Amino acid sequence: MSVTRTLLRLYPASVREHWGLMLETDAQSAGWRTWPNLVAAVVDMWLHPVIWPAESIRHRRHRAAAMALVVTVTIFVIGRAAAASDSTLTRHSHVWTLTDCALLMSCGAILILPLPRTGRQAVTTLLRKAATLVVPLSIAVGSLVFAWGVGRAELSSAQPWVATCFWLALAAAAVLASRIVWTTVGSVALTPPGPARLHLGFAVLITGGALASWITLSAAVRGGRFDPMSALTGACLLALTFTLVLTLNDLRRC
């Protein structure tokens, strides 16, 4: 397979299918000089799921909610990693702690959750969908329960294999949760949040993400020393929060 074709396969499916052969022919005829531009465009498209070709504005709202949930799960995992390496981040020596941010972001996540529809067809579709997701869902819940149990013990003093299992379980839960969220996009069984609820949810998530970034970044320069790990974590949280801002901005424009 040619490099151009490989790059085109990295596009979100709906964009690829919508422009189809026209995009492929143009990219093939432009040759290798267009590769950097294609890479930038692919990254740009994945950062803006709201603008992908969609059947309706409802579909776009559903994608925005899915994007926000995936970003929130990622922020949770990174925040958990930061808290495990620096316990002061969750201690009440600050006005806000990462635990408070997690609670705030949980509220935001609840606000943007798509709701199940009523009606026989919707319920049947939802049950069928749930049946296909029962295995990944069980693994995700099991991983979270395991991670919660291990997380309550002091990780630094735990056996290395326990710590490894903890991070693997948390990562598996995050990946599966994100996958479940994306597979339900556009489902007829779910109603995406209304514009007001979605905007409020995004505002809460952005506030929570910005606070978590600020706490982590301020910990990087605490006590006259510079902690590169906290700085990197803070920068990651800030970048993820920025993707939420981008999605909110796209929602306003579309």
Partner 1 sequence: MQAHHDAQILVLCALCDGPLHGYAINTAIEKMTGKRLGVGSLYGALTRLEAKGLIESLEEVARTRPVHLTPKGRQVVEQELRTMARVAEVGLRGLGVEPA
Asked if 238 and 213 touch (Cβ cutoff 8 Å), the reply is: yes
Asked if 111 and 193 touch (Cβ cutoff 8 Å), the reply is: yes
Q: CB 60 → partner 1: shortest distance, Å?
A: 8
Cβ neighbours around 184 below 10 Å, total: 19
Cβ closer to partner 1: 11 or 166?
Answer: 11
Closest CA to 69 of 151, 170, 180, 171: 180
Cβ closer to partner 1: 35 or 214?
Answer: 35
Cβ closer to partner 1: 27 or 101?
Answer: 27
Cβ closer to partner 1: 27 or 181?
Answer: 27
Q: Which two tokens stand for residue 247?
A: 């999605």
Asked if 96 and 88 touch (Cβ cutoff 8 Å), the reply is: no
* Alpha-carbon gap, residue 33 to 201, rounded angstroms: 42
* Alpha-carbon gap, residue 183 to 188, rounded angstroms: 12
Q: CB 236 → partner 1: shortest distance, Å?
A: 22
Cβ closer to partner 1: 50 or 98?
Answer: 50
* Alpha-carbon gap, residue 181 to 149, rounded angstroms: 25
E-strand spans in the chain? 115-116, 190-191
Q: CB 235 → partner 1: shortest distance, Å?
A: 20
Cβ closer to partner 1: 48 or 80?
Answer: 48
Q: Which two tokens stand for residue 50?
A: 């709201």
Q: CB 144 → partner 1: shortest distance, Å?
A: 35
Q: Which two tokens stand for residue 196?
A: 């007001």
Cβ closer to partner 1: 44 or 135?
Answer: 44
Burial (CB count within 10 angstroms: exposed 0-12, middle 13-18, buried 19+), residue 75? buried
User: If residue 98 lies in a helix (H) or strand (E), which one and from where to where?
Assistant: helix 98-112
Residues forming contacts to partner 1 in the complex (CB under 8 A) are 15, 18-23, 25-27, 29-30, 34, 37-42, 44-45, 48, 50-54, 60, 250, 253-254
